[in-house]
Amino acid sequence: MSDDLLAAVDRIKGLIVPLLQGQSAAELGRVLVYVQSVPRSLDASRAALRALEEKEGEETDPDRDEQERRKKRAAIEQACRRGVQNSLSFARRNLDSARMQALEALVYRPRLARKADLERRALALQKSLDRMEDPAPAMLEHYAGSSDPLNKYLLAGPWGHEYLQRRKIDTEEYDTALCRLLGWREKEGGGVVMSYAPLRRAIDELEAVAQCTLDPIPGPDGSKR
C-alpha cells in the first residue's frame, strides 16, 4: 500500500478522532469509516488482479484471447474506481451533515422567522454578495455590524456556509474568525465547524492520491497494465 495513501488516511483520522465525543460523532464516525475503506478497496483490487494473473499464468492455450484478459483487468480496476468514488462521496455527505448539525446547534434562529422571510432576506444578501470576488470578509463585517437577527442567522448559519461552498471559497478563515467572534471555539460544535475545511481538503488530497494509485493499478510484477 502506498505510503502517501496511508498518510492521507492518517491525516483525516487525526482531524476526526478529537471530535468523536460530540453530538456529531455518528456522522464523523461514518466519515472515518468511508475514508478507511479506500485503502481496503485498493488492496482488494490488487488481490483480484494477482489472482487473475496467476490464473492466466496457468493457461496452456496459446490462442487465449488477449482482449478478453484486458476486459477482465479493466472491469476489476473500474469496480475499484467506483468503490473509491462512492466511499469519498459518502464521506463528504456525512461531513456536510456533521457541519450542518453543529451550525444548527450553535446559531440562534429567530423563533418568529417565517420561511418566506428567510428566503427574501437570503435573496437580497446573495445579490449583494454575488458582486464580490471574495464575499467572506464582507459577510463577517456585515454580521458584526448588523443588528438584524435574520441577517445574523443567515450569515453565520447553514445558508452562509453553503453560499461560500457554492462559490468554491475555502471557509477555513471564515469559520475561524466566526468562531472567535461568537465564542464558539470552546463549544462542542465549534471544533466541527473549524475542522470542516481542513477535512474537506484532506479528503480531496486522499482522492488525488488514490487516483494516482488507480491510474492504472500496477500488476503484481510492478508493471502498469
Tens place of pLDDT per residue across the chain (225 aa)? 578 899 999 999 999 999 998 889 999 999 999 999 999 888 888 787 777 777 766 555 545 567 777 787 778 788 888 888 999 999 999 999 999 999 999 998 888 878 899 999 999 999 999 999 999 999 999 999 999 999 999 999 999 999 999 999 999 999 999 999 999 988 889 999 999 999 999 999 999 998 887 655 444 444 444
Residues 99 and 192 sit within 8 Å (Cβ to Cβ): yes
Q: Quote the pLDDT of residue 220.
A: 45
Backbone region of residue 222 per phi and psi (left: phi > 0; alpha: psi in -120 to 50; beta: other values): left
- The dihedral built from the CA positions of residue 116, 122, 126 and 128, taken in this order, carries a sign that is positive
Q: What is the C-alpha to C-alpha distance for residues 183 and 172, in angstroms, rounded to an integer?
A: 16
Q: Which three cell numbers stand for residue 1?
A: 500500500
Residues 88 and 38 sit within 8 Å (Cβ to Cβ): yes
Q: What is the dihedral of CA 169, 171, 177, 178, to 10 degrees?
A: 110
Q: What is the C-alpha to C-alpha distance for residues 167 and 202, in angstroms, rounded to an integer?
A: 19
